[in-house]
C-alpha cells in the first residue's frame, strides 16, 4: 500500500514545526518540506526580532501565545532534541495614550480572562518602576509578568528542523512553480526540476504565500512588507529591561551588548517589498531616533552599530493569520499571513495544521477564527496589536 505524501511549501519555522507536529500527531506517511533556499538568508524567521507576547487584541492570538510560551520555555523537552534558544522572560512594556485607553482596558480584561499574566501600571507607578522612562503622554501601561520575552529564532529554526529530520521528514531544495489539480484535489506540486506527487499540500510560504495561492486562482491578501531593525548602543543599563513599545509604535529591547529597535514606516511609504532587503536608514534618523530619545532620554547619546531588514507576511485584510482548509482544493491547507507574529505563534499553528490533517478538526486550540472564511465573507477580525 502506497503511503500518503504530504508536502509543505516553505521551510521556515511554520513549515518546519508543522512537519514535526504531524509526526507527533501520528501522521505515518511521507513528509517533504519544500524550501527554495536552505541557507535561509532572506527567510523571515532568520531575520525576525524573535519575541513573544500575550498582549493581543484577539483571544485566539492570546491562546496561541500562551501555548507558544510553554513550548519555548521548555524547547528541548518540547522537541526532544538539545536546543538552546536563549529565552529571556523579561516581558513586554506597552505604553498607551488617552486615545487608545478604552480599547486597551477592554483588551486587558480579555487577556487576563484567557490566562495571561498582564499588569496594569499608571504613570506614577510606571515612573517609579522604570526610572529611565519618560511618562509624558502615557495614560496607561501594561506589562506582561510571565510568558513574554525574546529568544533566538535561528536556533529555534535549526532545532525544529533537526527534530523534524529525526522524525523522518525530508527537507527538499526546490523552487515550487505551480500545482497540478484533478477532480477538486491537488495531485502534484510543480517545481523547476519536475513534478512531485502528493496527497496533502500546506501553503506555509510566508511572504511568498500569495504567489502560491494564485496558482489556484486565489488572490490571498498577504504581501511582503519590509521592516528594518537597528542595533544600537547607549548609556543605559539593560539588565531586566523589558521589551518596550511606545505609543507611537516604536519599539526597543536589549540585545547582546546593546539594544535593537525599530518602527513601521507610514502606510504610504510601505510598498510591496518583494526582493527588497535593504535597510531603511532614513527611517532611523527621521522617525525612530527622535521618538526613542523623547521616551528614553539616555538614548539621546545612542550610536547605531548595524541594521538589517526582513519581511513581514502582512495580512492586509485584518493583520491576522490565515489558517485552515482552503476551498480551492479539499487537500490544501493555509498557514500564513501572521503579520509579524508568526514566529511566536508557530508552535500552536503547527499543532493546528497537524490536527487538521490527522483528525480533521482542531483539538488543542480552536483556530477556526483564523480561517479564510472570514476573508471570503468580508468579515475582518482586526488585530490592532501589530508592531
Shared domain check, 306 and 161: no
pLDDT at residue 159, as a whole number:
98
199 — alpha (psi -120 to 50), left (phi > 0) or beta? alpha
Residue 98 domain-assigned?
yes
CATH number of the domain that residue 328 is part of: 3.50.50.60
| Euclidean distance between CA atoms 328 and 178, whole angstroms | 14
DSSP 7-43: EEE--SHHHHHHHHHHHHTT--SEEEEEES-TT-TT-
Shared domain check, 165 and 199: yes
Q: How many CA atoms lie within 13 A of 242 on its CB side?
A: 24
End-to-end, the C-alpha distance of the chain in Å comes to 49
Which tens digits make up the pLDDT trace of 3-24? 899 999 999 999 999 999 999 9
Shared domain check, 247 and 206: no
Shared domain check, 232 and 192: no
Q: Domain range for residue 307?
A: 88-146+223-314
pLDDT at residue 312, as a whole number:
95
Residue 229 domain-assigned?
yes
| Euclidean distance between CA atoms 125 and 249, whole angstroms | 22
Shared domain check, 300 and 250: yes
Which tens digits make up the pLDDT trace of 271-330? 999 999 999 999 999 999 999 999 999 999 999 999 999 999 999 999 999 999 999 999
* Confidence category of residue 387, pLDDT binned at 50, 70, 90: confident
Pull the grid cell for residue 166: 529525526
Which tens digits make up the pLDDT trace of 174-201? 999 999 999 999 999 999 999 999 999 9
| Euclidean distance between CA atoms 1 and 371, whole angstroms | 33
Shared domain check, 141 and 159: no
Q: Which residues of 38-60 are buried (b: 16+ CB within 10 A; e: fewer)?
A: eebeebbbbbbbbbbbbbbbbeb
| Euclidean distance between CA atoms 385 and 375, whole angstroms | 19
Shared domain check, 211 and 358: yes
* Confidence category of residue 1, pLDDT binned at 50, 70, 90: very low
Pull the grid cell for residue 345: 505563534
Q: Which of 13, 145, 5, 122 is nearest to 68 (CA)?
A: 13
Shared domain check, 161 and 198: yes
| Domain edge (last residue) among 260, 286, 314 | 314
Which tens digits make up the pLDDT trace of 214-238? 999 999 999 999 999 999 999 999 9
Shared domain check, 330 and 235: no
Shared domain check, 354 and 217: yes
Amino acid at each position: 500500500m502506497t503511503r500518503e505524501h504530504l508536502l509543505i511549501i516553505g521551510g521556515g519555522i511554520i513549515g518546519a514545526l508543522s512537519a514535526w507536529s504531524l509526526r507527533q500527531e501520528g501522521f505515518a506517511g511521507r513528509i517533504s518540506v519544500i524550501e527554495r533556499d536552505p541557507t535561509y538568508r532572506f527567510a523571515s524567521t532568520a531575520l525576525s526580532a524573535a519575541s513573544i507576547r500575550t498582549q493581543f487584541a484577539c483571544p485566539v492570538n492570546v491562546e496561541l501565545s500562551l501555548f507558544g510560551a510553554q513550548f519555548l520555555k521548555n524547547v528541548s523537552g518540547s522537541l526532544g532534541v538539545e536546543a538552546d534558544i536563549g529565552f529571556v522572560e523579561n516581558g513586554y512594556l506597552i505604553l498607551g495614550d488617552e486615545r487608545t485607553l478604552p480599547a486597551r482596558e477592554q483588551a486587558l480584561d480579555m487577556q487576563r480572562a484567557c490566562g495571561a499574566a498582564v499588569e496594569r501600571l499608571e504613570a506614577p507607578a510606571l515612573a517609579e518602576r522604570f526610572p529611565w522612562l519618560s511618562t509624558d503622554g502615557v495614560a496607561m501601561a501594561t506589562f506582561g509578568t510571565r510568558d513574554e520575552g525574546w529568544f533566538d529564532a535561528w536556533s529555534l529554526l535549526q532545532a525544529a528542523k533537526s527534530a523534524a529530520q529525526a522524525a523522518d521528514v525530508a527537507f527538499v531544495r526546490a523552487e515550487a512553480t505551480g500545482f497540478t489539480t484533478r477532480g477538486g484535489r491537488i495531485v502534484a506540486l510543480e517545481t523547476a526540476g519536475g513534478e512531485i506527487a502528493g496527497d496533502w499540500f500546506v501553503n506555509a510560504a510566508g511572504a511568498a504565500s500569495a504567489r502560491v495561492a494564485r496558482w489556484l486562482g486565489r488572490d490571498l491578501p498577504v504581501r511582503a512588507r519590509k521592516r528594518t531593525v537597528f542595533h544600537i548602543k547607549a548609556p543605559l543599563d539593560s539588565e531586566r529591561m523589558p521589551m518596550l513599545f511606545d505609543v507611537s509604535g516604536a519599539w526597543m529591547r536589549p540585545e547582546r551588548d546593546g539594544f535593537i529597535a525599530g518602527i513601521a514606516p507610514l502606510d504610504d511609504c510601505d510598498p510591496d517589498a518583494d526582493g527588497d532587503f535593504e535597510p531603511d536608514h532614513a527611517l532611523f534618523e527621521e522617525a525612530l531616533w527622535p521618538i526613542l530619545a523623547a521616551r528614553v532620554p539616555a538614548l539621546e547619546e545612542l550610536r547605531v552599530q548595524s541594521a538589517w531588514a526582513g519581511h513581514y507576511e502582512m495580512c492586509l485584510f485584518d493583520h491576522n493569520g490565515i489558517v485552515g482548509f482552503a476551498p480551492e482544493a479539499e487537500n490544501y491547507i493555509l498557514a500564513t499571513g501572521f503579520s509579524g507574529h508568526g514566529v511566536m505563534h508557530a508552535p500552536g499553528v503547527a499543532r493546528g495544521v497537524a490536527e487538521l490533517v490527522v483528525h480533521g478538526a482542531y483539538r488543542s486550540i480552536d483556530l477556526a477564527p483564523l480561517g479564510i472564511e472570514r476573508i471570503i465573507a468580508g468579515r475582518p477580525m482586526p488585530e490592532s496589536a501589530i508592531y
